[in-house]
Structure 1
Amino acid sequence: MPATPRLFQLSLLSALLSTSLIPGAAQAAPSYSVQTLGTLGGTSGDVRAINNSGSVVGYSLNSDNISSAYLSRGGTMQNLSPDRVTRSYASGINDAGVAAGQVVNAGGDTRAVTFDGGKITSLGGLGGRNSVATGINNAGQVSGSADRADGTQVAFRFTPDGRMQDLGSLGGHGSMGTDINASGVVVGRADLVNGYHAFLDDGKGMTDLGTLGGNYSEANRINDSGAVTGFSYMAGDASVHAFVFDNGMMNDLSTLGGVNSYGFGINNAGQAVGSSEISGGNSLHAFLYSDGQMFDLNALVGPGFGWTLNYAADINDLGQITAHGCNSLGACSGFLLTLDSTSAVPEPGTPAMMLLGGGLIVLAARRGRRRGAIGRT
């Protein structure tokens, strides 16, 4: 049975494209310009989410080798941590620029918080030691996980009036919340008596989203129309594939030629991003899934880039992608990928359309993230 991650190990390795795919002409591969997000002074940085203005959140090592939450906007990285020695992480961001994440106190306990400029607000908990926030919508509702008094970890929905709702499980020990959409629908994973499954909670109780044949699945992102991204074990539990759940069906996104893939982000056009093993080994490459095709993002950023993009964490409604990559010297950073204005525009009739400049560009698919699942740092 796969290991269960710690409370604040965000399952960012999960993305699926949700589409009722409409047949259409083959889509031309897009191309992207790349901006390096850098770090807060340390050797590596990580990415988690992007909003529709292109602001990115994640966490980075500072010069003291302490993980600190950041918000990157317009090429400037802002440290969201309360000081240089307190560990903090940001995992979600809404269009107002308010981030959700957690702060780790001196005793090692985590607390779900929101970061709004220089203000950090604790969301409290469910009676236990730890809580972590993973997603936030434009109404200020937050998803996440928290410990009960008995130590059981369960998903929650937090509302701006200060209420934290315990979402329970699917009959097993607990659950983990990973994202929330504009309607307040929370997704994540919940324990059964045997295994765990991706779930969706619309406020009326959990819905089990099932699997692709195995005993385990997890949802990591949900868009505003209710399409969910994540990953599922295949029959026999020997491999994992990214999926998109939409219209009651879990759709297998396959891989870039390797054995495993993981979905992390999905936008309102249905475009999905994530990470996949490539053929000939277990190297992970970031992918974009659009209009029924999976693209290796490393092939779309042009020659001479010098870094390997190993996962894409999220995609916004303008098609901007935030991804993580490392170079041959072992340095790692987050990146912001923006569609080149010269990118080919696919033929009309594909299932998803997004606005770019003054025209419509068709692509399809729209963050969690499981560090434990793919061994990311």
Structure 2
Amino acid sequence: MPVTPRLLQLGLLSVFLIPAAAQAAPLYSVKNLGSLGGDSGDVRAINNSGSVVGYSLNSNNISSAYVSRGGAMQSLSPDKSTRSFASGINDAGVAAGQVLTGSGESRAVTFSGGKIDTLGTLGGSNSAAKGINNAGQVGGSADRADGTQAAFRYTPGGQMRDLGTLGGDSSLGTDINDSGVVVGRSELANGQYHAFRADDSGMRDLGTLGGNYSEANRINDRGAVVGFSYLAGDANAHAFMYDNGVMTDLNTLGGANSVSYGINNAGHAVGSSDIAGGMAVHAFLYADGTMLDLNSLVGPGFGWTLNYAADINDLGQITAHGCNTTGLCRGFLLTPDDGVAKVSEPGTPAILALGAGMMLLGMRRARRVRALRQN
């Protein structure tokens, strides 16, 4: 299976932009989401209530799925020894993800009201849930009995439905919208992998930006899709938005690669990009045809570098991941703010002046970010 490039997520949020004549971008109040006791964590999704899910290392140094509501992080795992991950959350607060069994197999699950429901597999050993819609339908991937992997759609009270492929052996599901459309990547008969969207009429190839590989990461309720694709020659990859049959290159923040991870119903996307010089990756927001570095919108006293943005909701809130100069990494919630950018550490608010001077990530931190996103 091909190796994904050094990429990160993209961001789009024009509804909160100050009118173009002012030539100004939105400012954000920032909330540090903290941790479950460990020294690192990840963010994956946000719903329209501002609840964030992802995973954090707990005090036993075990990855644990969490939900953060109102600034309070709560583990979704049954105990501190169970490895779990949350990747999606709907507006009712039901999360989707995976739990590792004692034998190391992965099971797609939903987390709701302190209860974990296992969704099963497609006959094989492993499954993982990635997205969940407001009807409770889940999109993800599962092993078949023959060892190949397939994207699935799960409907409550029913079974996993194998969504097939684009002609090859395997496919991977990454998200689902309120219409039940699943997106991800699929193998073609020639061994290439392309982004797809799958509904009741079948799986559609979304194409590429000229290269031999593309992958869809998120879909909104209008059917617009974001992800990344290699360019011609397969040396670099860029974030894309696919809408109305057209795949648009979202470009980068000056570096070689970018990837989009989230999109809201206004068509605003978020993600991450190499910056000029190639020594760091920064979170970005893509709005009105322009990619903005989120680090320039939170104030110079922030003290952290946002290296990828995972998702954006319909209120324009963004969940992002950042690291400080000591290598400590945390998830953050960014909320559009008309006045002074505010930064809240867990339990300690602070008001900061506006500005754009941010410290570049070193290569060591960039490698750490890539390792987190490959989980």
| Bin of the TM-score, shorter chain as denominator length | 0.7 to 0.9
CA contact (8 A) 1:49 1:313 kept: yes
1:202, distance to aligned residue in structure 2 (A): 1.3
Question: Amino acid of the residue matched to residue 3 of structure 1?
Answer: V
How large is the RMSD of aligned CA atoms in angstroms?
A: 2.3
Which whole-Å deviations, capped at 9, do the CAs of 1:122-142 have from their partners, x for residues lacking one?
Answer: 001100000000000000000
Shift in CA distance, 148/372, structure 1 to aligned 2, threshold 3 Å? farther
CA contact (8 A) 1:16 1:229 kept: no
Q: Which residue of 1 aligns with 2:2?
A: 2
Q: Counterparts of 2:68 and 2:60 in 1: how far apart (Å)?
A: 20
Q: Which residue of 2 aligns with 1:269?
A: 266
Q: Which residue of 2 aligns with 1:169?
A: 165
SS in 2 for 1:172: strand
The answer to whether 1:315 aligns with 2:320 is no
1:204, distance to aligned residue in structure 2 (A): 1.2
Instruction: Normalising by structure 1, report the TM-score.
Output: 0.87
Match of 1:149 among 145, 149, 167: 145
Q: Which residue of 1 aligns with 2:242?
A: 245
- Residues 327-338 of structure 1 mapped to structure 2, 5 A cutoff: 327-338=324-335
Q: Counterparts of 1:28 and 1:202 in 2: how far apart (Å)?
A: 39
Q: Counterparts of 2:31 and 2:4 in 1: how far apart (Å)?
A: 34
The answer to whether 1:205 aligns with 2:208 is no
Which whole-Å deviations, capped at 9, do the CAs of 1:213-262 have from their partners, x for residues lacking one?
Answer: 00000001000000000000000000010000001000000000000000
SS in 2 for 1:285: strand
Q: Which residue of 2 aligns with 1:350?
A: none
- Residues 1-377 of structure 1 mapped to structure 2, 5 A cutoff: 2-3=2-3, 13=8, 15=10, 25=20, 28-192=24-188, 193-342=190-339, 375-377=370-372
Q: Counterparts of 1:14 and 1:109 in 2: how far apart (Å)?
A: 28
CA contact (8 A) 2:10 2:285 kept: no
Decide which moves more: 258-267 or 190-199.
190-199
CA contact (8 A) 2:8 2:283 kept: no
Q: Counterparts of 1:337 and 1:259 in 2: how far apart (Å)?
A: 26
Shift in CA distance, 122/269, structure 1 to aligned 2, threshold 3 Å? same
CA contact (8 A) 1:15 1:244 kept: no
Q: Counterparts of 1:264 and 1:36 in 2: how far apart (Å)?
A: 20
User: Which segments of 5 or more consecutive residues in structure 1 lack a partner in the other structure?
Assistant: 6-10, 345-370
Which whole-Å deviations, capped at 9, do the CAs of 1:82-102 have from their partners, x for residues lacking one?
Answer: 111010000000000000000
Q: Counterparts of 1:197 and 1:173 in 2: how far apart (Å)?
A: 13
How many aligned positions are there? 342
User: Which segments of 5 or more consecutive residues in structure 2 lack a partner in the other structure?
Assistant: 342-365
1:173, distance to aligned residue in structure 2 (A): 1.5
Shift in CA distance, 78/374, structure 1 to aligned 2, threshold 3 Å? closer
Question: Amino acid of the residue matched to residue 336 of structure 1?
Answer: L
Shift in CA distance, 268/159, structure 1 to aligned 2, threshold 3 Å? same
Q: Counterparts of 1:163 and 1:376 in 2: how far apart (Å)?
A: 32
Which whole-Å deviations, capped at 9, do the CAs of 1:63-85 have from their partners, x for residues lacking one?
Answer: 01000000000011110001110
SS in 2 for 1:375: helix
1:372, distance to aligned residue in structure 2 (A): 9.9
Q: Counterparts of 2:9 and 2:289 in 1: how far apart (Å)?
A: 18
1:374, distance to aligned residue in structure 2 (A): 6.8
Q: Counterparts of 1:196 and 1:373 in 2: how far apart (Å)?
A: 25
1:184, distance to aligned residue in structure 2 (A): 0.3
CA contact (8 A) 2:153 2:160 kept: yes
SS in 1 for 2:167: coil
Q: Counterparts of 2:155 and 2:274 in 1: how far apart (Å)?
A: 38
SS in 1 for 2:168: coil
Q: Which residue of 1 aligns with 2:357?
A: none
Q: Counterparts of 2:81 and 2:162 in 1: how far apart (Å)?
A: 31
